[in-house]
Amino acid sequence: MLWFPLSLLAALCQAVNDTISKRFFSDLTPYEMGLIRLLYALPYLFIGRFFIPQPSLDKTFWSCLAFGLPLELVAFLCYMRAIKVSPLSLTVPFLAFTPAFVILTGFLILGETLNSYGIIGIALIVTGSYALNLSSVKNELLAPLKAIFREQGSWLMIITALIYSLTATLGKLAIQHSSPQFFAVTYFLFFALLVMSLFPFMPKARFAHLLRRPFVGASSGIVLAAMIFSHTLAISLVQAAYMISVKRSSLIFGVLFGYIIFKEKKIKERLFGASIMMCGVLIIGLLG
């Protein structure tokens, strides 16, 4: 059962890093916000790479990276923008849509089929997203749904979840042609280098911004590295669907941190909605 606490640790690290980014770096551009956590995590990734055996790699593995990394970049920028402009309690819960979208992308790319539990899980995720803005139902029945698209961070995170469903499916295919540990560390290394390569083309990006809070930046890098290594170890011990389902508890942590750190409002209905969405994720991951 070691995979379970490791998955929870990965979830907690993800939520902590989102909180750090929003609390200390939200005055920067979304690109700079994301680059800081990657830049400071890079040394740990390089070191970790030497302790992970390299499996035999084929064309499929490299094709998955080639298609997945540009998509990951778009999702990453949407993610950073979402947590910058909107409350955490109205953004991170929408990552619950990732496993729902994976059902579609898994069918298209891997030929995986949908069962009744998958349908129930999707219904719970949609219901939970409705409940995030439940108090607005007194004005109009569809008001909670309309509120999602009025909140920039919410619809940006839905786009992020959709892209993550594609990268997750490509990642699963890449793991089948390598190993979970090797893929995760290699993927993040290449991704960090890709993001860094864009620095000269970002007109508002400043190197001084990246070094302005070195202690906080280093903390963010350590947390990201801890998330990656706990993720890779957990996913090597159990089926990927189980691990990812537990890791999505980050959305609950995100709502709680939104309340504790940023004093976000309507925490009860947002926690209620996020909990329903989490139930949907667990049903898809464990039964679907």
pLDDT at 114: 65
pLDDT at residue 211 greater than cutoff 90 = no
Residues of the chain above pLDDT 70, percent: 95
Which of residues 149 and 10 earns the better pLDDT score? 10
Neighbouring C-beta atoms of residue 4, cutoff 10 Å: 14
Q: What is the mean pLDDT of residues 221-227?
A: 94
pLDDT at 58: 94
pLDDT at 226: 94
Q: What is the mean pLDDT of residues 251-268?
A: 92
Which of residues 99 and 218 earns the better pLDDT score? 218
| Residues 44-79 pLDDT 10s | 988 988 888 999 999 999 999 999 999 999 999 999
pLDDT at 112: 63
Question: pLDDT confidence of 288, banded at 50, 70, 90?
Answer: low
Which of residues 108 and 123 earns the better pLDDT score? 123
The pTM (predicted TM-score) of the whole model is 0.88
pLDDT at 212: 85
Residues of the chain above pLDDT 90, percent: 50
Which of residues 254 and 106 earns the better pLDDT score? 254
| Residues 109-126 pLDDT 10s | 666 666 788 788 888 888
pLDDT at residue 130 greater than cutoff 70 = yes
Distance between CA atoms of 217 and 49, rounded to whole angstroms? Answer: 21
Buried b (16+ CB within 10 A) or exposed e, 128-153: bbbbbbbbbeeeeeebbeebbeebeb
Which of residues 285 and 72 earns the better pLDDT score? 72
The burial class, CB within 10 Å (0-12 / 13-18 / 19+), for 73 is middle
Q: Residue 191's Cα: distance from chain center in Å?
A: 14
pLDDT at 273: 92
| Residues 135-176 pLDDT 10s | 777 667 777 778 888 899 999 999 999 998 888 888 888 888
The burial class, CB within 10 Å (0-12 / 13-18 / 19+), for 127 is middle
Q: Is 144:133 a contact under the CB 8 Å cutoff?
A: yes
